[in-house]
A and B are shown apart, each in its own frame.
Chain A
Amino acid sequence: MDLQNILFYVFAALTLGCGALVIANPFSRNPVTSAMFLVLTIVSMAGLFVLLHAFFLAAVQILVYAGAVIVLFLFVISLLDLKAEATRRVKLFGLLAGVVAVGAILTIFLKNLGATLFSNDSKPMVEGGTSELGKVLFTNYVLPFEVVSVLLLVAMIGVILLSKKKLD
C-alpha cells in the first residue's frame, strides 16, 4: 500500500468521522462544536482534494469554507447565543424514521455503486492547478461565471436587507 492510499484512508476517516460528529456529537449538542467539527471535515476534505490533484480547489476549500463560511457560522452562533436551546431530546420515532430514510438512500446507492463498473483504463492525468482551471473557467465557463456575479450581487443586497437592524 503506498502512501497515497494510506493518506486517502486517513483523510477519508477524518472526513467522515468529523462529519458524523458535526451532526451527532454524543457529548455536546452545542452548535459551536458542530461548527468546529465541520471545519475539521472541510480541512480533511481539502486533503482528499490534494490527493486528487485538485490543488487550487483544496486551497479554495480551506479559504472559503473554513476561512469564511464557518467563521460566518461561528459569528452568527455567538450573535444568537444559542446555548440554552442546545439540549432538546431526540424523539425515538423521528430518529428511526430518519435512519430508515437516509439508510435506504445510502444502501441503494452503495449497492448500485458496487455493481457499477467504471472504466479505469486511462491513467488519471488531469492536474487542477490554478492556471489550468483558470483557462477553462474563462473560456468555456465565462457565462456561468458572469451569472454568478449577479448572484453574488443579489446575495449582497439580500443580506443587507435582511440583516438591517431597523426596519427603517
Chain B
Amino acid sequence: MSNKINIVQAVQQALYNEMTLDETVVVYGQDVGVEGGVFRATVGLQKAFGSERIFDTPLSESAIVGSAVGMAINGFKPVVEIQFMGFIYPAVNQIVSHVSRYRNRTRGERHLPMVIRAPYGGGIRALELHSESTEAMFAHIPGLKVVIPSTPYDTKGLLISAIRDPDPVLFLEPKRIYRAFRQKVPEDAYTLPIGKAKIVKEGEDITVVTWGAMVPDVQKAVSTIDDISVEIIDLRTISPMDRETIVESVQKTGRILVVHEAAKSFGAGAEIVSVVNEKAFLSLEAPPTRLTGFDTIFPLPRGEKHYLPTPERIAKKIREIAAY
C-alpha cells in the first residue's frame, strides 16, 4: 500500500507508524498534542495514541530536550519537537553537554535513543528567527547526528531510522517545501540509512551537492541547462557526512558546487570543500565553490527574496564552474 503525501504528512506518518509499532516511542513539544503542531506535523496522533504518549509541554526548550534525555535513559524513545529551529538555542546546553555526550561519558553504558525534530530554513516570509539554518553549528558536535530530508519518501524513511537509532538524531525538516509536492510513499514503516547521500541525477561534468529545500531549486536550475551534464547529490545527512558519494562523484566530474541556505562562512559547505580537497585534489579541474546564503542575518520578508540562492543564480554558477 502506498499513498501520495507531502513532507509534513510524511513526518506525521513516520510518527504514526513508529508509535504503532513501538510503545516506547513518545512524542512531545509545544502545541504538538491538542493542536497537532503549528505545522500540523502531529495532527491526529493524540486522538490515536492518547495524551500519555503525545502531549503538550510548557514553553521550555531546555526542559523539553533535557527531559527527553531522562526518558531515553529510562527506557523510552522520545521524539521531541522544537517549534522552529530558531528556538533551539535555549536547548543548546542540553544538546552539547548531554545529548551528544551520554554514551561517551559512560563508556557506552548509557545511550540516548532520542530524536529532536525542528522545522528549519527560510523563504516562508516569516518573522525573525523563523528562517534559520544553522545545521553547521550542530554538525560540529561530536556524538550527534544531523539529518535533513528533502522529499516525502526520504523524510519518512529517515525519520523512522532516526527514531530507531540507538543514538540521538537532530532531524531538521525543510519547512519551505513542507507542502510543495507529493510523492508516492509506502504506508507501512520502512527505513533509509542515515549517513548516506543520494544521487538525485547522474551527470558527468559537474557535481552539485545540496540538501533540504535547496534540492528542488537546484533541480530547477539544472533543468534549464542542456549543454552541461550535472550530477546532483542530495546530502540528506549532514553529519556524519557521506564523503564517499561526494568524492566518487567529484573524481568523475572534476568540478563541484555546494549550495546551501545557511551563511557562507563556517557553513557546512566549507566541510564539503575540505573533504573534496583532502580526497579528490588531483581530480579537481576547477575550484570547489560554494553558493550559499550571505554572511548576514536572514532578512525579514521584504528583503528575503535576495537571500536564498535562486535557480538563476545556481544555473549561472554551474555555467561559470563548467567554463573554468
Query: Are A and B bound to each other?
Result: no
